[in-house]
Amino acid sequence: MLVWQQNASLKSFNTFGMEVKADWLVLIQDSSDLHELIRDERWQKMPRIILGGGSNVLFTQDFVGVVAILQTKGIAVLEENDEEVLVEVESGEIWHEWVMHCIEKGWGGLENLSLIPGSVGASPMQNIGAYGVEIKDVFVSLNAMHVVTGVECVFTHEQCAFGYRESVFKRAEKDRWIIKSVVFKLSKNPILKMEYGDIQKRLAERNIVHPGIADISEAVCTIRQSKLPDPKVLGNAGSFFKNPVIQKVLYQNLLSQYPTMPHYPVNAEYVKVPAGWLIEQAGWKGKKWETCAVHDRQALVLVNHAHAKGNEIWDLSSAIVADILEKFQIELEREVNVY
């Protein structure tokens, strides 16, 4: 039997720590509860949000509707041989705990995604990625339930239409599905991804010549802890903006003004530039704005310093967008979901 909390605080369910309320809050601990949720009139008739760890969301006001938090747990091996393992993970599992489980078992593929906040079910939504790996690299399929009909459906890799911080669940199928579980294929003889300069630096510091997945994970955790604020200490939602993809012509023009501007190749026509670099160049890094700020060690992250309101963060982000547009002719896109 589901417990419906009325006029409930969402403060502990969003990593920005916004003190907002939802008309109704429901915690889903067993996937069989989903049928009860979907049949409920409140769910059918009111606006609704499904959250996992609440690590990619900015609430600018109270939510008039139902917020369901997926907390379902379970990790099941579906198939296994000497080389690979196919594992189904329930959506409510905490992402980093799942990555640590893989490290303990010796299953490679997710070590570069250590310490990313959030839950397993949210990970395919925006194809989470870091240090040269994206979830699409180990993703097989996911099981989802339609938010209104309760029909269950498998989405294959292709159907998810993954892109940089993108999937079909942010586009054509937005707000239509509850992701119940995700199936991953992991390797017992993984090829490690360690091109990232900071990973190599950390391995060298520890004198590690033949690293394993645990060493890569340690390096990634150390790098993240040195740059990114811990949401338990300082409210934030990780990267607030996406790294913009711009035309090469614009990039070449900017390069003549800013010869050190970093970039990542995309294809013959486009390059990606780090939003953090643009924001820092424009002088925003570490800047305070009412009770929020641009993080002083990674300009891509906005932080809640005290009791910031969502609209203060929103206004800060809008000021940054306008300034970057004026200075670089680049329009930054927000990565977080704003309500």
Does residue number 96 form part of the binding site for ligand EPU (CB under 6 A)?
Answer: no
C-alpha 324, offset from chain centre: 23
d(CA 300, CA 322): 15
d(CA 165, CA 210): 31
Burial class (CB in 10 A: 0-12, 13-18, 19+), 326: exposed
Which listed residue (139, 277, 289, 328) binds ligand EPU by CB under 6 A?
277
Contact positions with ligand EPU (CB under 6 A) in 24-53: none
Does residue number 254 form part of the binding site for ligand EPU (CB under 6 A)?
Answer: no
Which listed residue (119, 298, 304, 317) binds ligand EPU by CB under 6 A?
298
Contact positions with ligand EPU (CB under 6 A) in 109-148: 130-131
Q: Are 284 and 275 in contact (CB under 8 A)?
A: no
- Segment near ligand EPU (CB under 6 A), from 4-12, 82-90, 148-156, 235-243? 235-243
Three-class secondary structure assignment of 143-199: EEEECCCCCEEEEEHHHHCCECCECHHHCCCCCCEEEEEEEEEEECCCCCCCCCHHH
Does residue number 202 form part of the binding site for ligand EPU (CB under 6 A)?
Answer: no
Q: Which is nearer to ligand EPU, 28 or 276 (CB)?
A: 276
The yes-or-no answer on residue 165 being catalytic is yes
Going by the DSSP 8-state scheme, the letter that residue 93 receives in this structure is S
Q: Which is nearer to ligand EPU, 217 or 239 (CB)?
A: 239
- Supply φ then ψ for residue 99, to 5 degrees: -60, -40
Beta carbon of residue 273, minimum distance to ligand EPU (angstroms, whole number): 8
Beta carbon of residue 180, minimum distance to ligand EPU (angstroms, whole number): 24
Q: Are 280 and 299 in contact (CB under 8 A)?
A: yes
Beta carbon of residue 94, minimum distance to ligand EPU (angstroms, whole number): 16
Task: Tell me the CA distances in angstroms from 228 to 117, 291, 338, one per residue in order.
Answer: 11, 19, 21
Does residue number 242 form part of the binding site for ligand EPU (CB under 6 A)?
Answer: yes
Kind of pairing between the strands at 139-146 and 177-187? antiparallel
- Segment near ligand EPU (CB under 6 A), from 8-16, 68-76, 140-148, 296-304? 296-304
Q: One of 91, 123, 134, 165 is an active-site residue; which one? A: 165
- List residues near ligand EPU by CB under 6 A: 130-131, 227-228, 238-239, 242-243, 262, 274, 276-277, 280, 285, 298-300, 335
Active site (catalytic) residues = 165, 239, 335
